[in-house]
Every structure is written in structure tokens, then in C-alpha cells.
Amino acid sequence: MFLQSTFSKLAVTAATGALALATAATPALAATPTAAPEKNASTKAEAPRYKGRVIAKSGLLIRSGPSQKHKVVGALPHGTVVNIVCKVNGQNIDGNPRWYLLSNGKWAWGAARYIVNIGAAPHWC
């Protein structure tokens, strides 16, 4: 029983250390918000909105986080005008590490590589 208990404690400690190391090794992704801001937040706290247009010929897959490892939650056709809340650094897509938090009916992330800004570039999240 003592060995099993000691082994369990070591396993938990090792798993916790691995999780801490993984989080520290990816600060750009770990520091980015994966949940969308509340839609019912007061207007003072509401982030300014920016616009963009989908330029990917085959459309844009939108995801639950700022990388291709995140779940696809929808798609936007070529030419769609999107509402951009803010930008973060995420997975590099064809030399562009920027990802935009979009709010077109649902909150999701889109690779900036496939979105051209309409007007000012969005601020950082």
C-alpha cells in the first residue's frame, strides 16, 4: 500500500510538472483568451469592432482557438465581411502568425492570413 501511495504521489507530481512546463513553453497560446468576451458586457467594456473580408478562395474555416489544432466551429465563404474584435499571435499560417477573434453571430477565431482588413487594423486582445 505504501509503494502504491508513493507511486501515485510521484505520478501526480510528474503530471503537474509536465503541464506547467507545457504552459510555460507556449506563452503566446497560453496567454490568449480561448473563451469569447461576454456579449452582454456593458458598452464601456465592449471591445471596439473592426471589419475584414474573407479572401480565401475556398472560404475560411473558423475555429475555437487561434490554431489549426482547435476544433472547426464553422466556415465563412469567400467575400464575407466579418466583425473583428481583436488580434493575437497564434499558429503561423503561410508566414502570418496573427489570428482574429471574430463575432459574426458566434465567437470564433480566423487566421488573419485569409482576412484582409477593411479600415484600421484591430488592436491586440
Q: Given this model, what pLDDT does residue 48 score?
A: 55
> 36 in a domain, yes or no?
no
Those residues with Cβ within 8 angstroms of residue 104's Cβ, 6 or more apart along the chain or in another chain: 76, 80, 82, 83
> 38 in a domain, yes or no?
no
All three cell numbers of 123:
488592436
> 37 in a domain, yes or no?
no
65: domain CATH number is: 2.30.30.40
> 124 in a domain, yes or no?
no
Same domain? 60 vs 114? yes
Range of the domain at 7: 1-31
Strand locations in 1-125 (E): 50-54, 60-63, 72-76, 81-93, 96-103, 107-111, 115-118
pLDDT tens-digit map of 109-120: 999 999 999 999
> 98 in a domain, yes or no?
yes
Same domain? 56 vs 106? yes
Residue in this structure with the C-alpha cell 484600421, named with its chain if needed: 120
All three cell numbers of 56:
480565401
> 87 in a domain, yes or no?
yes
Question: What's the CA gap between 65 and 48, in Å, rounded?
Answer: 20
Same domain? 60 vs 104? yes
Same domain? 99 vs 57? yes
Q: Given this model, what pLDDT does residue 47 score?
A: 52
Beta bridge partners of 68: none
> 69 in a domain, yes or no?
yes
Same domain? 64 vs 107? yes
Q: How many domains does the chain contain in total?
A: 2
Same domain? 55 vs 114? yes
> 2 in a domain, yes or no?
yes
pLDDT under 50 in the chain at which residues? 1-46
